[in-house]
Structure 1
C-alpha cells in the first residue's frame, strides 16, 4: 500500500490541499539537490584555482644546484721561492654551487679540497708542503671554502666573499669569479653544465704556515677552474 503523507497546501492547480505520496517527494528532492550543491562546488573550485595561480606567481625563482665535476676541476697554486715561481695543484676537489641566474647575488658556493691530494711533481717538495710547517695534512685533512656574500660586477663577473679554512685556521677571503660563456669548447658536450674561473691571493703566515720564511714568499696565489654539472 502506498504511504500517504499528511496533507499540505498546493495551490498550483486549485485552492484545495492535496496529499503527496512519499516516493514522489523523495524523487523531487533528489532532482533538486544537485542544483543546490553544484553552484557552491563550482565556486569553490574556481576560487581555489585563482588562489593557487596567485601563490605560484608569487613564489621566488629558485636557484639551480650544480656539483663540481671532479675529473675536470683544477685547483692550482703558485708562490715564489728565491725569486723563482713554483707551482702545485690539488687533484681531489668537491663542492656545490646554487646558482640563481635571475639574482646572482643570492647564489652560494661551497668547496672542499683534500689537502693530501697536493702535487708539485717533486716528491721531496710534496712531502715538505704536506708537513707540519705548511698544510699539516695529517691534522688538517680538508681545505674548505664557503661563500657568505656575492656581489655581481657584470653579467659574467662577481666578487664572492666567504671563509676559507687552511691548516685548521679560518680566515675571510674574496674570490674574483668569472663565469665562462656557454659556448666555451669545454662545455660543448655538457648540456646544462657551467664553468667558472676563480682567483685569489692569501698570505700563508695567516694560516700558521711559517716554515722557510726567508726563502719562500708569504703570498700564495690560488687559481680554480671548475666545471659544474646540474643536479
Structure 2
C-alpha cells in the first residue's frame, strides 16, 4: 500500500500529455470564437515565406520572420478591419549563408546593390480594403506594400486558420494564412532576371494576440 500514492502520481503525470493530445489544440477554425478588438502580431509565429524560380531547375524559398504589426478587427463589420505589418528585411533567412550574404551585400563601389543591400529599410504593408467571402472564412485584403523604397498595391488572398485562447499567456489569439504574388522588378530589384524569376510568390502565416 505504501507504493499506491507514488504509482498513482506517476500514472497521473503520464496521463497529462495523453489528455492534452485528446483534447485537441486550443485554436480552431470557428468564427464564433473571434472577438472584436485590437490585436498585435506575435513575432515568433508570424512570417512571410517567399519563393522564386531558380534557373528553371527548381523553386527556391526564403523567409522573413519577426514580423510585427496590428490588426483591428470587428466580426460584425469585417469590411472595416485594418491590418498594418512591418517586415524586417534585414533579418531575411535562407538555407544558404552565401545567398543570405548576397541578398544583404552592399553595392560595389557605393553603387546599387543586387538585392536588398547592407542596411535595408523594413518593408511595410498597410491595408486599404477588406472584402469577405459569403462564408466569412476567406477574404481579399488589398493594401500598399512598401519595399526597397517603392510602394505598390498588393492583394492578399487570406484564409482564416483558427481562433482561441493561448494556453500560455491566456490571450485571445487569431491566425490567418495568406498568399500573394509580386514582381520584384516593380520594387527596383531586378538583378538576375530572367534566370531567377521576376515573379515572387509570397506565403504569409500570421498569429495575432488581443491587446
**What's the TM-score, normalizing by structure 2?**
0.74
Alignment: residue pair count:
166
Question: Unaligned 5+ residue runs, structure 2?
Answer: 1-34, 106-112
Which of these residues, 139, 147, 150, is aligned with residue 158 of structure 1?
A: 139
Is 1:74 the counterpart of 2:47? The answer is yes
Q: In structure 2, how many angstroms separate the alpha carbons of the residues matched to 1:66 and 1:214?
A: 40
- Partner residue, 2:38: 65
Cα RMSD after superposing both structures:
1.7
**Structure 1 runs, 4 residues or longer, greater than 3 Å off:** none
Higher share in helix? 1
Which ranges of structure 1 fall in alignment gaps of 5 or more residues? Answer: 1-61
Alignment of 1:47-126 (within 5 A): 63-83=36-56, 84-126=58-100
User: CA offsets, 1:107-155, max 9 Å, x none?
Assistant: 00000011110010211111222242222352x3211000001111131
Which of 134, 137, 155 is residue 174 of structure 1 equivalent to? 155
Confirm whether residue 215 of structure 1 aligns to residue 192 of structure 2. Answer: no
Larger radius of gyration: 1
Question: What is the alpha-carbon distance in structure 2 between the residues aligned to residue 182 and residue 129 of structure 1?
Answer: 36
Higher RCO (C-alpha under 8 Å, 6+ residues apart) = 2
Q: Could you tell me how far apart the structure 1 residues matched to 2:194 and 2:38 are?
A: 44
The residue aligned with 1:198 is 178
